[in-house]
Amino acid sequence: MEIWKEIQERLDLPILIAGPCAVESEDQMRLIARILVKHGVPILRGGAFKPRTSPTSFQGLGVEGLKIIKQIGEEFGLMTISEIMDPRDFENTDWLPDIIQIGSRNMQNFALLKEAGRQNRPVLLKRGMAATVHEWLQAAAYIENEGNSKILLCERGIRTVTEVTRNTLDLGAVAYLRQLGTYPIIVDPSHAAGVRSLVVPLAKAGLAAGAQGLMVEIHPSPDQALSDGEQSLTFVEFEELIQSIRF
């Protein structure tokens, strides 16, 4: 089945996207893929390029990470999603993921948006950490103006004065965008929460506000994760999340 059509048909379930913040190894991704297949989760996520605040933090495996997630996706029959940061990375389609992610920091990277718009692949566009909803929709328009209307919007929390979560999940924006109906709306409770104990409550809140899907971070051993382990769910916690949102 064509990928965009399959995504659209799953939006009422809601659709789930799960995987680690960063691709670390084939073994790690294989363990995660088995969990996704077990629970009928169709999309495997994993970061290959990691735009970290500190240049000394783990920056990802790069193209090798893209190759790993593509290989594991094909092995387990999963759709894949990973962030692309540079327009030049679209030149070799052999290792591109099924779904292109544009991250928060690149929401207004207009050269990248235009190039994503020239691809025949769905694009998940994350909201910038200080972007208004209007600016976010205009960023999506850059993609669509190049001919690609296969766009998912992802609310991942915005920067406010909160000190108890990493970001503030904008539920009002989720409700508004669902009513607007221009693009499907996905919520990323992992980046909004910043701590794993809050991921499930925020996931439920996002769905209650009208989100059609969730993108969550999971890891076999979160305490040993090379990136964002503090907000990554264990496999047991992920299974509990799935049980709690499937009626």
Helices (H) and strands (E) in the chain, counts: 9, 8
Average pLDDT over residues 224-228: 90
Domain architecture of the chain: domains with CATH: 3-8+15-50+58-245 (3.20.20.70)
pLDDT at 190 over 90: yes
How far apart (Å, rounded) are the C-alpha atoms in residues 112 and 126?
Answer: 13
| pLDDT confidence of residue 1 | 55
How far apart (Å, rounded) are the C-alpha atoms in residues 68 and 51?
Answer: 19
pLDDT-based confidence at 52, cuts 50/70/90?
low
Whole-model pTM? 0.95
